[in-house]
Structure 1
């Protein structure tokens, strides 16, 4: 669609999450699932109660990169499709295609997108809309001299969020996600009913389960002693679950290219945990550079 709205089928979503198992976010996932379910199945009395609190079916999901925010949204949609209503569509906004340098066109594109979403909700259908990388066009006005097209688009989004209310004829769930919440304009953030941080924290048992899952293809399961060492490094370096998966990805490539013997896997795992990429450490260095 030329305005930037893209729809994915449930089969495409299933493919995306088939090898993207989430760890350490069970409580958050269940909480958000219950919230979405209530919004989609609310009766007239509940809808009136929502209005009392200005509650809208919208979630602002934030956290450092590589924590699984997008995968969480895919998984939520798929479970809603399977367990709540088959009449739900998944759409996401391609910001690059939505933004247009022509005067007012970005704003019109966004208006067209929401009109299209509302039309999809007729006859009992509903929509799950993902606004990925929200910071691309909702950066705080105090942080940047934004392009007029971006400013207009942000204003239009705020107006559309203001008009978003649960109802029998308008069942639109909106998830706005970002890696840099501090850069998002406060006026945008406050319009989302829920603000939740995606910060998976694995306890030792979950960490063990995760490493066993990642190591299954290379037939590596750390001993209790090594597991504790790895877990301590995981905590000290504030590695994300995505970071750990990236480390194992490198080990798998080494193994696949026959540059790593089975007997040396443990040594390589320890080396990568100690020296491999850490999203949090990278963010700290980046922010220090930007503050100079």
Structure 2
């Protein structure tokens, strides 16, 4: 019993040291006047200490934890006061109001558990974003997370969904950007919008700026390029990794594209972490078929499911959804118009393997094998560059 109690005490002390180390990191950031991130980390340490304090039975240790919790709360409040001043100045800017209205995702509830497969991708994102946000005392200096992450690969495999899940899992503020958000008919407004966007992301750290179809914004520069487009890219690169940025900031830019070869080389260099979002593997295809057919009556057994999975090798996630929808519609198409309007829903013929075989003829994969091979070769090329 003594050995068990000793082990529990050691684990308890280790957890306390962990939260104290996190708070020390917040103090460092406070001294550097990085109030947004300092506030976030103080709250992180405070939540951990309060949880331990509620579970503690030793009066002396409980009092010590209570004092620590009060100290962290006071420091978080000081950060909040400094941020209120910055926020008041920002909110007066019409561009910031526009960003909050059109780019800030306020109701993002997507989690990794909602996304089938992509185990290696999730692990890479945990290491690059989620763990650094939850353990800022460890991931600093040379271990600091990358500032830019590029999600590339064939279309229809959930790049946007993954970016939203990352923001939810890491408790980060999420800005969803597209070319239409940044382009303006007024000369110079696009650059001001980019600058205001990064200022908002800084104040609301940790933040994720997600740019879907990033090749449409950061396309390779050329001689006959429009001046407004060139200036927008230049401002973006300055804000991304220029004189106004700091290694202490937790503002991460995630770009998604299925045409990475068109991205400007200066922009591509800033995306030091490049992750392939490939077509689903066997297990993921099986999971997707089961998920999309959960509301339909089918006669598919496990053996037929596995045969179907092999037949649709190379299908993207969106292709599989379209295929299942087509297969589920076939029993209805076999009914006459009068029958369709009067038939009992419980007496509709179940979806069979024959329906899926017929659906495959009508819904072929949207991606050719040479396209899939291109992305795999691109990964090898990026690995050589690293």
Measured against the shorter chain, the TM-score band is 0.7 to 0.9
SS of 1:67 mapped into structure 2? coil
What are the within-5 Å matches in structure 2 for residues 87-106 of structure 1? 88-106=172-190
Which deviations, in whole Å up to 9, do the C-alpha atoms of 1:196-230 show, x marking residues without a partner? 11104312x44323322221111226334533442
Name the counterpart of 1:47: 140
Question: Which residue of 1 is the match for residue 275 of structure 2?
Answer: 196
The secondary structure found in structure 1 opposite 2:191 is helix
| 1:131-179 CA-partner distances (Å, limit 9, x unpaired) | 111112111225x943222221111111122144442xx3212211112
1:219 is aligned to 2:297: yes
Which residue is 1:274 aligned to?
361
Matched with 1:67 is 157
Work out which of the two has the higher radius of gyration on C-alpha atoms and give 1 or 2.
2
CA separation of 1:232 and 1:110: change in aligned 2, threshold 3 A: same
Query: Residue 321 of structure 2 is aligned with which of 245, 268, 280?
Result: 245
The one of 122, 125, 135 equivalent to 1:32 is 125
By how many angstroms is 1:94 displaced?
Answer: 3.7
- In structure 2, relative to structure 1, the CA distance for the partners of 1:117 and 1:224 (3 Å cut) is closer
The alpha-carbon distance between structure 1 residues 152 and 258, as it changes in their structure 2 partners (threshold 3 A), is: farther
TM-score, length-scaled by structure 2: 0.59
Seen in structure 2, the aligned counterparts of structure 1 residues 221 and 104 have a Cα distance that, compared at 3 Å, is: farther
Match among 254, 258, 262 for residue 183 of structure 1? 262
CA distance in 2, matches of 1:101, 1:46: 42
Cα 1:233–1:271 shift into 2, 3 Å: same
Q: Which residue of 1 aligns with 2:30?
A: none
Unmatched segments (≥5 aa) in structure 2: 1-96, 341-347, 372-386
1:85 is matched with which residue? none
Question: How far off is 1:75 after superposition?
Answer: 1.4
Whether contact under 8 Å (2:208, 2:251) holds in the other structure is: yes
Structure 1 gap segments, 5+ residues each: 82-87, 285-292
Higher relative contact order (CA 8 A, sep 6+): 1
Matched, 1:79 2:155: no
**Any conservation in 2 of the 1:233–1:274 contact (CA below 8 Å)?**
no
Q: Closer, same or farther in 2 for the Cα pair 1:113/1:75, shift >3 Å?
A: same
Q: Give the TM-score taking structure 1 as reference length.
A: 0.77
RMSD: 3.1
Q: Distance in 1 between matches of 2:113 and 2:230?
A: 35
Structure 2 counterpart SS, 1:217: coil
Please identify which structure carries the higher helix content.
2
1:210 counterpart (250, 273, 288): 288
Change (3 A) 1:31 1:56: closer
How far is the alpha carbon of 1:253 from its aligned partner?
Answer: 5.3
Alignment partners' CA distance in 2, 1:90 and 1:245: 27
Q: Which moved more, 1:265-274 or 1:106-115?
A: 265-274
